[in-house]
Structure 1
Amino acid sequence: MTARHKATGIALAGIGPLVLTVLTASPAAAHGSMTDPVSRVSACFAEGPENPKSAACKAAVKAGGTQALYDWNGVRDGEAGGRSRTRIPDGKLCSANNPEYKGLDLPRADWPASTMRAGKHTFRYKATAPHKGYFELYLTKSSYDPAKPLKWSDLEAKPFAKVTDPKLTNGEYVFDGRVPARSGRHLIYSVWQRSDSPEAFYTCSDVVFGKALGGAAARPAPTASAPTATQLAAGAGKSSMDMSQHHHAGSAAGTHTDAVTQADADAPAPGGSSQTGGNAPHAQGGGKPAGGQQLAETGGDGSTAPLAIGGAAVLAVGAGVLLATTRRRAARHRG
């Protein structure tokens, strides 16, 4: 082996692992879903992705496949930044305009539901990766028709509950809210907007106040159940969500807001981009963090992939320079 070839081999051997390390660095995803009242995706996952029991969950699997249920904790928009109303189009609220979860948008009056009553309620949100941020909960108007696609205008203009950095207990965010009076079948829509990233997460929870009476809402409402720890563990192996880079330590800190009433006027006003494009389901929130803040330890952002590509390019250029230098030195040695 010539000196030039030997030096080249050493150079590339040294650069190779670095390039591989950069290219294989991927952002983490998947952060949670409402468990009280149970979200649609969680309820269907609890029934069993391969053989769901309810007609609605069977229809959801037929429309979007089983993977969406195994990925129950990833209904998100990585670029939301407080602009959910302008980024998610009508009819796609439950999927957050993400094609993987399109089965959740099916307009039906027989989704598994939780019983609900007006007044104080303790809400629970399973967090597989805690983040700083705020929750907003919206209730459908009295005129809501579950047999029609869910629109933003079907929700009250202001959330009935809003809480920032709620208490994390046994892996769940726990906070109280006062639920307005309703009758029959309705829906509670949650928005979890991170304060350390533009990323936001969404859930649709079907609820029934009293008995579902009148029209399409008269269909029997299967009882929704949250997935058990055993079910979550059993399904984790089939999830396409990458949880390997999340660090829960230190993320559980938060202030429990005891009195959560009508939403205040501080909620971020819709604005900026009116983009309604789909979301890559398995990437973290990208773009500039809301408020210019740094990303939390538990997250990453969509810039990770461009950085990986850019880093690989820099390393490739460096390898080229090193190779050229090696050749020049070898030539001088022969001379």
Structure 2
Amino acid sequence: MLAAVLVSSLTWSGTAQAHGSVVGPASRAYHCWEEWGDDHMNPAMQQEDPMCWQAFQANPNTMWNWMSMLQDGLGGQFESRIPSGKLCSNNLSNFESLNKPGAWKTTDVGDNFSVHLHDQASHGADFFRVYVSKQGFDPKTQSLGWDDLDFITETGSFAPATDITFPVQTSGYSGHHIVFTIWQASHLDQAYLMCSDVNFG
């Protein structure tokens, strides 16, 4: 028990030097941290939030390092460098559990919603690309691939800031979908690929 607490403390201190993530609609890793970070020893997680539970069992760093889902040097070659089925983890082994289909908790959204990035290190952005999983794709039974996505928008650049929010306009979606966001940070060739589970009302 003490060892687990020490490991958690050490990993959490590493997060303080980390980067950022989409917090609205909550990315999978951020949701798990927001919901269970202060209560990760609660056995209720297994029943109430089984996808976060399996992620925490696979690797606690999935939760603690929710701001660190980055790949350096992709050169914008996202589709050729990140395999289908590995999009929600950004092809990072520490986050492999985020690729698993299942009953991920969703954020309710309408056709028009906002994406909110929290960037503790204030890197800014060259751009964001936002996609939505196609109507008929089932996040409960399917891992996300490039062919499962509809491209929605690409933004322009954003100056360094702790919080960046921008609007997204969609139509024709209903039920559980994945909003897939690529954040190309400005300070280096550093890309963050993240999945947010939403429910279009």
**Residues 1:128 and 2:120 aligned together:** yes
The answer to whether the 8 A contact 1:166-1:174 is kept is no
1:1-335 → structure 2 map (5 Å cutoff): 30-49=18-37, 50-51=40-41, 52=45, 53-63=48-58, 65-108=59-102, 110-119=103-112, 121-132=113-124, 133-146=126-139, 147-156=141-150, 158=151, 160-166=152-158, 171-210=162-201
Aligned partners of 1:186 and 1:139: how far apart in 2? Answer: 7
Runs of 4+ in 1 over 6 A off after TM superposition: none
Question: Which TM-score applies when normalising by structure 2?
Answer: 0.81
| Number of aligned residues | 177
SS at 2:62 equivalent? helix
- Structure 2 distance, partners of 1:168, 1:87, is 26
SS of the residue 1:173 aligns to? strand
Superposed CA offset, 1:285-305 (max 9, x none) = xxxxxxxxxxxxxxxxxxxxx
Secondary structure of 1:94's partner? helix
User: Are the equivalent residues in 1 in contact too, given 2:88–2:193 (CA < 8 A)?
Assistant: yes
Question: Alpha-carbon deviation of 1:189?
Answer: 0.4
Q: Is the 8 A contact 1:167 1:175 kept in 2?
A: no
* Matching residue's letter, 1:144: F
Distance 2:99 2:17 in 1: 22
Q: For 2:123 and 2:75, how far apart are their aligned partners in 1?
A: 14
One-letter amino acid of the structure 2 residue matched with residue 42 of structure 1:
Y
Asked if the contact 2:114–2:165 (Cα under 8 Å) also holds between the matched residues in 1, the reply is: yes
Specify the structure having the higher radius of gyration (Cα).
1
Distance between the aligned counterparts of 1:62 and 1:84, measured in 2? 29
The alignment's TM-score, normalised by the length of structure 1, stands at 0.50
| Amino acid in structure 1 at the alignment position of 2:77 | R
1-side partners of 2:67 and 2:121: how far apart?
A: 9
- For 1:122 and 1:79, locate their aligned partners in 2 and report how far apart those are by CA, in whole Å: 28
| Native 8 Å contact 2:134 2:149 kept in 1 | yes
Which residue identity lines up with residue 166 of structure 2 in the other structure? F
> Using the alignment, how far apart are the partners of 1:168 and 1:112 within structure 2?
30
- Contact persistence 2:180–2:196 (CA under 8 A): yes
CA distance in 2, matches of 1:149, 1:194: 26
Q: Distance in 1 between matches of 2:74 and 2:17?
A: 15
Contact kept? 1:94, 1:203, Cα under 8 Å? yes
Q: Distance in 2 between matches of 1:168 and 1:78?
A: 18
Contact 1:166 1:175 in 2 (8 A): no
Q: Cα–Cα, structure 1 residues 37 and 168, in superposed 2: closer, same or farther, change >3 Å? A: farther
Partners of 1:180 and 1:90 in 2: CA distance: 25
What is the one-letter code of the residue matched to 1:80? L
**3-state SS, counterpart of residue 102 of structure 1:** helix
Aligned counterparts of 1:94 and 1:73: Cα–Cα separation in 2: 14
Code of the aligned partner of 2:111: A
Q: Which runs of 5+ in 1 are unaligned?
A: 1-27, 211-335
Contact 1:138 1:161 in 2 (8 A): yes
Shift of 1:195: 4.1
